[in-house]
Structure 1
Amino acid sequence: MTQAMSWKEWFAHDGLGLADRIRNRDLTAEEVAAQAAAGIAATNAEICGVIEVFDDAVADSTVNGANAEGPFAGLPFALKDLGPTLAGRLQEQGSFYMKGNRPTSDAFLTTKMKQAGLNIIARTTTPEFGCCSSAENPAMYVTRNPWDTGFTSCGSSAGSSVMVGAGVLPIAHGTDGGGSIRIPAGCCGAIGLKSSRGTFSIAPGNSDFTSVVSTQGCISRSVRDTAAFVDSCRGGAPGEFMPYWAPGQSFLKQIESDPKPLKIAVSHEWGPYRATPHIAAELARVAKIFEDLGHHVEWALPKVDFEKAYAAQTTCYITNFAQTVNNLLRLKGLETPPEDLIEPMNIRIWEQGKDATYTERADMQLAFNETARAFGAAFEEWDILLTPTTALQTPEIGTTQYLTLTDNPSALDWFGNLWGFFAYTPLNNLCGTPGLSLPLAQHENGLPLGMQIHTRQGGDGLLLQLAAQVERAIGGKWNQGRLPQVHVTHLD
């Protein structure tokens, strides 16, 4: 099939830009999907972000039910292999245990994506059950950073991040239970929003009481694509218990204007964790960008008992993931995890978390409440909190200490090690607050480094408005205008 446009022209469009071309009949949705599929075919051997392309959806944009009248007009889109289900399509959750799992119904959020006009043409890689920091099991697949394939993309929305980072797709689906959108977006030079609790549906499969830590969302390379995704896909299913809130103004409209001058607190020394000197220096440089835009910027640390918060966080992740494994065992009538099908740390987590008491969970929740109130008080004084997205340099492929393939016998120790790397993302999940990673910095070795802006619960629009102001100020040139080694524009 003849390519619809050059790759340079392709990359000059964001998702809404391509949707406009489809809507104006310059291109068909099938031509755009075919070009996206060609981009996957040309890059996937190097970065391994896509598990499966749905050829029938490439050939016919209506196969999976995309609404041609939606704001994305049939734009090709990839679904992470975890979270919302798509009827009749495999969802294997990065696990040999789940091989061949084929859901029979759509999740509610999937129906919203379809109504928005997103044509789901592929599923993307994830570590097993989304638990660890990298989609890196050599027996299954190893997802690599498009900026340097010797390094990980991080995760758990690994495949979606590398496909957006490499320019193959303008936008893709992600999930975020502790940073799993923001971290890989930051590592791959993309934009990643973890929305406020009460934005996206978790129906029908997730528990109203234990699944509110994790949320859904997207990874993109333009602020307006992320705004349009949230505008179109937000809202709860009938019977969901949370108050699914809606802003008074669409995010797409809100980002058209700059925010008023904001008070921005900058920090990276969170309890026992802090950024490397280079990352701290990049944080200071990025803070100056916000200051130059007219905002009041000051180094200030929220009055939070971070050690208590991280301890409760560890209890949360061990007990939540233990029940994830437990529920999957029940599906097959098993009492213990099969060691040849489930990765070692996920078995250790199950062992150490499955018998947690109600008292332990109640104490954890009290710590969450205290942490959330402390951040709430901070956001009464400050409009925005600016931190790095990660505290350490992106790991090389094969760094097993962060993987669920590790032989570390202690889930407590393993999670504590993770927090040293991902210090600034999980507390948003525990408190329900939004965080947005922006590709504004770089590591010493040239790999992208995300910088994260946080605000009060329900303030997602303000984050996007501030991000759009920055985007305009830099002429849309995220990553200082640099491109990764693996990128579709190199195919011209």
Structure 2
Amino acid sequence: MTLAMSWEEWAGHDATALAGLVRAGQVTPAELAAQAAAGIAKVNPALSAVVEVFDDVVADPFKDGMNPDGVFAGVPYLMKDLGPTLKGRLQEMGSFLMRGNRAAADSFLTGQLRRAGLNIIGRSTTPEFGVCSSAENPAMYVTRNPWNLDYTTCGSSAGTAAAVAAGVTPISHATDGGGSIRIPAGVCGNIGLKPSRGVLSVAPYSSDLMGVVSTQGCQTRTVRDMASFIDACRGGAPGEFMPYWTAPEPYAELIKRDPKKLRIALSHEWGDYRAIPEFVSELERVGRFLEGLGHHVEWVVPKVDFRAAYAAQTTCYITNFAQTIETLLAQVGRSAPPPAELIEPMNIRIWQAGIDATYSERTKMQAAFNATSRAFGAFFEEWDILLTPITALPTPKVGTTEYLTISDNPDVHDWFGNLWKFFAYTPLSNLCGIPGISLPMAEQAHGLPLGIQAQTKQGGDGLLLQLSAQIERALGGAWNQGRRPGVHVTA
């Protein structure tokens, strides 16, 4: 098969640039889809990042209603196998329980993606129900990090992180209930934005108030792609419980200007959790870089009851996922308890721990959520940006089961506590509904990227993107120090 461009040309274009080629008549959406499918065929044997390619949509990008006049004009896009549904397509959620599950209708966000001109050509991997830190059940698939195949991508947006980093597509779907957009972006060298609560809809099956912590998004390789994605896909569906944030101007325009001088807090000592010294040094280096851009930078610890916040977050995950599993059992015509041959052991323990939770437990959780959100709100009255490493500990090797839902840890609370030691800095933004972005600005000792996370107040997504664009310009576009992973379409 003759491809429309060389792999170097392909990897050198972000989604905005590819869409520009389509509008200029230099390439067609079908040619873009064919190139992305060829990229999947090239790297997926090593990465296991893509579950399925929709061959019919690769052949005919307009088959499912993609709008060629949208901002992305037919750019190929992978949908994480969790979250928004695609009418008639499989959605198996990384679980044997959901094998063969086909969606009856498109989700609202699916329609937004297609109106934006994104051509959904396949499904990317996720751990079972998106619960754990890596898409890594050997009986299902093991998604590997393109920078070093011995290491995980983290999760839960594992396949998207690997595929975008490996140059398959410049943009693809991700979800985030505690860091699942930002963490895999951070350890794979991509840009990952968790928007504020009330930016991207999870209709019709839930809402931002019912889901509490989970939100939608994507990973990209450039800030302008992320800005255009939010511009095109934001907004609530009819019947939302809450108003949705609006922006005074498109983010694609806002990011062309540098932000004002910002007050930036560097932070990593969060209650019982600390980043390793190597990561603290990288955070400090980035702080000095931002001072060089004219910003005021200090070390600060937000005045938050961190123990109460993480305890409430644990309650939220246990009770939410227990109900998710209960709902899915009913959806496939099964009754409780969850079958051990179809559901991973930690997810069964989560169901056991959470299915009979009381209203009093959830009320206590919500009170801690409120107190935490108010504390971060007060912090952002004084500080514009909160900067942390994306994780506190190094990315583990494949097969490190203590973070996985195939773990044999009998204690669900201990298992979650172990996760917080690793992923200390991302989940509380989900609790509060504030935005956070991971930027590929640092490096781990074993050579994998280390994302640096910026957070700000609710609705401040535009400020995060504006600062990110300023950094991108200062770096000359050379995220990851200009490096590419070893497994890449150009290799």
Q: Under TM normalisation by the shorter chain, which class is it?
A: over 0.9
Q: Structure 1, residues 442-477: CA drift from partner, whole Å, max 9, x if none? A: 101110000000000000000000000000000000
Distance 1:127 1:333 in 2: 21
Structure 2 residue aligned with 1:371: 372
Structure 1 residue aligned with 2:60: 60
1:478 aligned to 2:479? yes
TM-score (norm 2): 0.99
1:47 aligned to 2:47? yes
User: Are the counterparts in 2 of residues 264 and 297 from structure 1 also a CA contact under 8 Å?
Assistant: yes
> What's the CA shift for 1:212?
2.8
The residue type equivalent to 1:365 in the other structure is Q
**CA RMSD, 1 decimal:** 0.7
Distance 1:465 1:60 in 2: 36
1:396 aligned to 2:394? no
Structure 1 residue aligned with 2:239: 239
The residue type equivalent to 1:417 in the other structure is N
User: Are the counterparts in 2 of residues 210 and 320 from structure 1 also a CA contact under 8 Å?
Assistant: no
Among all aligned residue pairs of Structure 1 and Structure 2, give the percentage whose two residues are the same amino acid.
66
Structure 2 unaligned segments of length 5 or more: list them: none
The residue type equivalent to 1:395 in the other structure is P
User: Are the counterparts in 2 of residues 390 and 423 from structure 1 also a CA contact under 8 Å?
Assistant: yes
TM-score (norm 1): 0.99
1:143 aligned to 2:143? yes
> What does 1:39-438 align with in structure 2 at a 5 Å threshold?
39-207=39-207, 209-331=209-331, 332-438=333-439
Distance 1:248 1:410 in 2: 48
Q: Structure 1, residues 76-101: CA drift from partner, whole Å, max 9, x if none? A: 10000000000011000000000000
Secondary structure of the 1:489 match is coil
Q: Structure 1, residues 150-182: CA drift from partner, whole Å, max 9, x if none? A: 000000000000000111110000000000000
Q: Structure 1, residues 194-215: CA drift from partner, whole Å, max 9, x if none? A: 0000001111112554313100
Distance 2:250 2:373 in 1: 26
The residue type equivalent to 1:422 in the other structure is F
User: Are the counterparts in 2 of residues 93 and 128 from structure 1 also a CA contact under 8 Å?
Assistant: yes
The residue type equivalent to 1:403 in the other structure is L
1:447 aligned to 2:451? no
Q: Structure 1, residues 30-61: CA drift from partner, whole Å, max 9, x if none? A: 11110110000000000110000001111111
User: Are the counterparts in 1 of residues 267 and 387 from structure 2 also a CA contact under 8 Å?
Assistant: yes
Distance 2:97 2:334 in 1: 13
User: Are the counterparts in 2 of residues 279 and 443 from structure 1 also a CA contact under 8 Å?
Assistant: yes
Structure 1 residue aligned with 2:490: 489
Number of residue pairs the alignment of both structures matches:
490
Residues 85 and 39 (structure 1 numbering): CA distance in 2 closer, same or farther, change over 3 Å?
Answer: same
Distance 2:207 2:457 in 1: 24
Residues 20 and 91 (structure 1 numbering): CA distance in 2 closer, same or farther, change over 3 Å?
Answer: same
Secondary structure of the 1:149 match is strand
Distance 1:93 1:71 in 2: 29
Distance 2:287 2:190 in 1: 19
The residue type equivalent to 2:136 in the other structure is E
Structure 1 residue aligned with 2:20: 20
Distance 2:479 2:403 in 1: 28
Distance 1:141 1:210 in 2: 31
Distance 1:84 1:24 in 2: 31
Secondary structure of the 1:105 match is coil
Secondary structure of the 2:454 match is strand
Structure 1 unaligned segments of length 5 or more: list them: none
Distance 1:453 1:209 in 2: 24
